[in-house]
Copies of this chain bind each other. A is one copy, B any other.
Amino acid sequence: MTTDVPRRRADARRNEEALLDAAAAAFVAVGVEAPVRDIAVRAGVGVGTVYRHFPTRADLVVAVYRHQVEACVEAGPTCRAETASPYDALVRWIDGFVDFLVTKHGLAGALHGDGSRFEALHAYFLERLVPVCDELLSAAAAAGEVRDDLSGYELMRGVGGLCAGAEDDERYDARRLVAVLLAGLRAGSPGSPRR
Interface residue ranges, A against B (CB under 8 Å): 33, 106, 109, 112-115, 147, 149-151, 153-154, 157-158, 161-165, 169, 171-173, 176-177, 179-188, 193
**Would you give 13 A-B contacts (Cβ < 8 Å), ordered by A?**
A33-B114, A109-B113, A112-B112, A112-B164, A113-B164, A114-B165, A154-B176, A158-B181, A162-B162, A177-B181, A181-B181, A183-B183, A183-B184
A180 touches B177 (CB 8 A): no
Residue of A112, A157, A193 most packed against chain B (CB within 10 A)? A157
B161 touches A112 (CB 8 A): yes
A149 touches B176 (CB 8 A): yes
Pick the residue among B109, B113, B162, B188 that contacts A158 (CB under 8 A): B162
A106 and B114 CA atoms in complex are apart in Å by 8
Given A153-B171, A158-B177, A184-B182, check contact A165 B106 (CB 8 Å): no
Which residues of B lie under 8 Å from residue A176 when comparing CB positions? Answer: 149-150, 154
Which residues of B lie under 8 Å from residue A184 when comparing CB positions? Answer: 179-187
A180 and B157 CA atoms in complex are apart in Å by 13
B172 touches A157 (CB 8 A): yes
A162 touches B165 (CB 8 A): no
CB distance from A136 to the nearest CB of B (A): 16
Which residues of B lie under 8 Å from residue A187 when comparing CB positions? Answer: 183-184, 186-187
What are the 9 closest A-B residue pairs judged by CB atoms, nearest first? A184-B184, A161-B161, A183-B184, A180-B184, A187-B187, A183-B187, A158-B177, A193-B193, A161-B162
